[in-house]
Amino acid sequence: MKTTYYALGLHMHQPPGNLRLLIDTNEWEAQQIIKCYERAPRYADTYKDIVSFHVGFSGILLEQFTDPEIVSRYKKFVDIPEMIERYRQADNIEIIGMGYYHPIFPLIPREDWAEQLKRGKDIVERLFKKSPKGFWPSEMAFSMEMIPALDEAGYEYVVVDHVHVKPLKDREKPDCFKPYRITYEKNEIAVIPRNRDISNAQESGMNPSWFIDEVTRKLKEYSSQEKARLVTTWSDGENGGWFRQMDENSGFFGYFFAPLMEKIKEKKAGITPVKISEFIKKYPPRDHARVQTGAWNVASTSGYDFSQWNGSESQKRAIEKLFSVRRRHHDVEKKKGLTASQKKKIDEAKELILDAETSCYLFWGDAWIPKLYEKLDEASRLLSL
């Protein structure tokens, strides 16, 4: 008899300085968002004997959580240090890693990949005392070339949108309910297909009965011989009215999550929550696949390319500027006889370049691209030694 496991994931991110901007300009929205982060460990504790799930934070969001001003100004809504401690104590929450500044890795200079990965992992380990085993690519933007960097950073698995996963076996139908192995050059990592359709419902709203029926229906589409099936759903955890609903009984955790856990407790759901790291340890993926370059479907895009982030001429020019300033940094950094003051400016420029790689500056197109240029222009000024 096959066992159906359920890997739920929530993605959390705010661009640099956004928590301060929110509480300066829209205190109601700031309250809605900060409470989204607080609910996850609270509900994990309520159902600690039943549930396991996953939460990923961008490094820059975690950095904002440690800002004394942010901690002080948000305390009337949420005690952030206490919230972090609850995540730290929640053994049933698997914290997964991200790039520090939430970059679209295939669209940024490759020489920055390792630093974005290391810094993202380091801040998770520092705040939560847990080393992330899984990786969430920002905007689910993935390419096979990322595998060596992820493997060398110590990640065991990466979550990608299921529409991009293609088995290597001839004529084998892609199976979005099992992990695969993916290899690039000499590096290998497990890939976890995130079911796009059910994840879209998770983002917008669903009830437990629909979810159980939909999982059952979709599983019947695959005549798998696997002993265990893995249903993976992932969405933003703080965007949209569904997650920001202040009446918890009408939002994700009160309307969907808690009732589903009750059904699972009563053995009426036919699914078992699981941490992905534990699943792949018990059921190591055997079959190999490749992953087509792509992202998740956002706004009006399909995710089969990166058009949401590089589709316009202004976006393309901004990316070219990023690469140009990064090359300038590389050249200046190699100069001999630099003074301590000059080295400090070079380091400051590097931080601005990494900041400029934040996906949000491209996602919102012409509205936010000036933020990217602001960072790069200042970096260029610092590099004019």
The pLDDT tens digits for 183-194 are 999 999 999 999
User: Whose CA is closest to 141, among 316, 323, 310, 368?
Assistant: 310
Range in 164-178, 184-198, 245-259 with the lowest mean pLDDT = 164-178
Query: Which residues are within 8 A (CB) of 267 and not within 5 positions of it... i.e. 6 or more apart?
Result: none
Domain definitions of the chain by residue range: 3-291, 311-382
Q: Any bridge partners for residue 9, and if so which?
A: 54, 234
- Does the domain spanning 3-291 belong to CATH 3.20.110.20? yes
Q: What is the CA radius of gyration of the chain?
A: 21
Sign of CA dihedral 331, 336, 338, 344: positive
Cα–Cα distance measured from residue 22 to residue 9, given in angstroms and rounded to the nearest whole number: 25
Cα–Cα distance measured from residue 301 to residue 140, given in angstroms and rounded to the nearest whole number: 13
DSSP code for 97? B
The pLDDT score that the predictor gives to residue 105 is 98
The 10s digit of each residue's pLDDT in 315-329 is: 999 999 999 999 999
Is 90 exceeded by the pLDDT of residue 59?
Answer: yes
Please give the distance of CA 149 from its chain centroid, rounded to a whole number.
16
Banded pLDDT at 1 (limits 50, 70, 90): low
The pLDDT score that the predictor gives to residue 227 is 86
Cβ distance 34 to 78 under 8 Å?
A: yes
Distance from first CA to last CA of the chain, Å, rounded? Answer: 68
DSSP code for 366? G
Banded pLDDT at 117 (limits 50, 70, 90): very high
User: Whose CA is closest to 114, among 283, 354, 370?
Assistant: 354
The pLDDT score that the predictor gives to residue 83 is 98
Distances from the Cα of 283 to the Cαs of 161, 179, 225, 278, 289, in angstroms?
20, 9, 13, 8, 16
The pLDDT score that the predictor gives to residue 171 is 74
Cβ distance 86 to 41 under 8 Å?
A: yes
Q: Which long-range contacts (CB under 8 A, 24 or more apart) does 260-267 make?
A: 260/208, 260/211, 260/212, 261/47, 261/50, 261/51, 263/208, 263/212, 264/50, 264/51, 265/47, 265/50
